[in-house]
Chains A and B, each alone.
Chain A
């Protein structure tokens, strides 16, 4: 199930969001159940429709 927009609107990458000039913007990959921070090259998983926004549980982005 797709994450609701109002939930996506309040999510940001916890690693970089407070860095100067950074917004912590995430790309939502619905089919892969992922939220991707291209700035940090990190992937946050979505598990059973729950975004897991924990830095130590994020995985490196493979490009």
Chain B
């Protein structure tokens, strides 16, 4: 089948496109290469895909491009593109979040209304929940995002549901819970932590380390996307989590085991917009998508560490094998 992957040069988009190509599908990828983070990483992400002759890539802005021609012959749209990052969504940069997260999604839905792909899978986020009184969070609870980023992800999710109800655009929304793994964005916690360990500098933890996350390995996210195509019910929302949560203090212990180096830690005050805990109720995803997370935190971090060492070696030109020099 022919698929459109938006945000294809990004962390999750590139993994998803890679799996689709491995399965023999045609992939049209779009990315505007926002300056949110290292262009070299995005270029590397897409560079691997371009070796496949079933991959077509366009640099473009979903808020501007002709999406109708882009959707020609496309059966499934995987909408991974977004302006990501909780902390940067305050202040003047919010305009970017509206542009890339809300307006672009609305344009894509409008185009899907006419071009009729058989499925649109939207990458939503656990950030829509905010701080809840009970865990795990099920899809039925009232979402109360505490960051402008979370507000925009929820707004786009609501648009997906609305376009199903009003125009039968067959959208399925997946709420990703803190995704990690090779190619993770540089602003995300594990990437920062592992880079700090590699470079023998202190990693920063905002808060006292008792905050927790339901960390989800990227290949499990890819699995969920593929399941959503065939088994996801249009108009519905599904939590996609890693199956267990860990506090940041627990993560520090695992990082020491995986890297062979005790992290140096700098403790800072919590940042506005960071939720205290996340934990996904996976009942609906298990029942309707057949989703089961497969990669545990220790194994996932080991894989990310291996990728980080390679990536940072290439960036710096140093030769590192295993432990930090």
Contact = CB atoms under 8 A, between A and B. Distances in A.
Given A54-B64, A55-B64, A10 B57 contact: no
A10 B60 contact: no
Contact of B58 (A13, A18, A50, A55): A50
Contacts of B58: 7, 10-11, 50-51, 53
Contacts, number: 52
A9 interface: yes
B249 interface: no
Contact of A10 (B32, B50, B61, B69): B69
Interface in A1-20: 4, 6-7, 9-15, 17-18
A40 interface: no
Contact of B61 (A9, A50, A54): A54
Given A54-B64, A55-B64, A10 B59 contact: no
A52 interface: yes
Contacts of B57: 50
B295 interface: no
B17 interface: no
B87 interface: no
Contacts of A55: 61, 64
A43 B236 CA distance: 42
Given A4-B56, A50-B57, A53-B59, A10 B72 contact: yes
Nearest to B71: A10
Interface in B19-69: 28, 32, 50, 56-61, 64-66, 69
Interface string A8-35: 0111111101100000100000000000
B59 A17 contact: no
Contacts of B69: 9-12, 17
B246 interface: no
A50 B284 CA distance: 40
A14 B65 contact: yes
How large, as a class, is the contact surface on chain A? 20 to 34
A22 to B, nearest CB: 10
B111 to A, nearest CB: 11
Contacts of B159: none
Nearest to B43: A48
A25 to B, nearest CB: 11
Contact of B56 (A6, A14, A15, A18): A6
Nearest to A51: B58
B28 A10 contact: yes
B59 A54 contact: yes
Q: By CB atoms of chain B within 10 A, which of A10, A11, A50 has the most? A: A10
A7 B32 CA distance: 17
21 contacts: A7-B56, A7-B58, A9-B72, A10-B69, A10-B70, A10-B72, A13-B66, A14-B60, A14-B64, A17-B69, A24-B66, A47-B59, A50-B59, A51-B59, A51-B60, A52-B59, A53-B59, A53-B60, A53-B61, A53-B64, A54-B59
The 5 closest A-B pairs by CB, nearest first: A53-B60, A12-B66, A17-B66, A14-B64, A52-B59
Given A9-B69, A10-B69, A10-B70, 5 more contacts: A12-B65, A14-B64, A14-B65, A17-B66, A53-B64
